[in-house]
Amino acid sequence: MNSKRVIITGFMGTGKTVVGKVLASKLKWLFFDADGLAETTEGMPVSEIFERKGEAYFRKLEKRCLEGLVSMNEVVISTGGGTLLDPETLSMATENSAIVCLVASEEELKKRLAKDKTRPLLKGGLNAALELLKEREPLYKKIGTQVDTTGLTPEQVSDKILELLGIDLAAEK
């Protein structure tokens, strides 16, 4: 693989963080969750950042966090679902990075998100979130390699990513 890092993006509930951790472990690379970094930077959860400072502030924070992460090598980075929808942020992220966009069926997302009370974009309810997904889908389809996580374990998804990126871990030993 020519890329020095893998960035995992996609809509909420597609498995970005858990798949990113598994993938980083398999590659023996570091893992960073951009939302987690934003929370650490601000000293509060994403939902509170949204509530207190607004989505526009959060998107700028997210971009700053990603800028720092893409300067590193041998890292897997999971982003928030809206991070790479900004053309400038996407352009910065694509430099020397393989980008993987995780997707899942609407039924799968409903199951995964049904009881989640932590995500600020779910405050309007699951149906509002699914409408947001419909708005974002055309943009997601243009971002990187698509991997459907529906019905797959994080290990299966990470194996699929390795295969799609042409990474043979046995050959790299």
pLDDT tens digits, one per residue of 51-97: 899 888 998 998 999 998 998 999 999 998 888 888 888 898 888 89
Per-residue confidence (pLDDT) for residue 118, from 0 to 100: 58
Distances (CA, A) of 65 to 35, 41, 83, 163: 8, 9, 10, 28
The region of weakest confidence among 19-28, 122-131, 158-167 is 122-131
Q: Which two three-digit tokens encode residue 42?
A: 């601000």
- Taking the C-alpha atoms of residue 129 and residue 113, their distance in angstroms, rounded to an integer, is 10
pLDDT over 60 (residue 29): yes
Q: Are strands 75-78 and 5-10 parallel, antiparallel or unpaired?
A: parallel
Q: Which stretches does DSSP call E strand in 34-148?
A: 75-78, 97-103, 145-148
pTM: 0.87
Backbone angles phi, psi at 98, to 5 degrees: -90, 130
Question: Residue 21: exposed, middle, or buried by beta-carbon count in 10 A (0-12, 13-18, 19+)?
Answer: middle
pLDDT band for position 3 (50/70/90)? low
- Taking the C-alpha atoms of residue 127 and residue 158, their distance in angstroms, rounded to an integer, is 29
pLDDT over 80 (residue 99): yes
Per-residue confidence (pLDDT) for residue 59, from 0 to 100: 87
Q: Domain spanning 5-162 has what CATH number?
A: 3.40.50.300
> Where exactly are the structural domains of the chain?
5-162
Q: What is the mean pLDDT of the chain?
A: 87
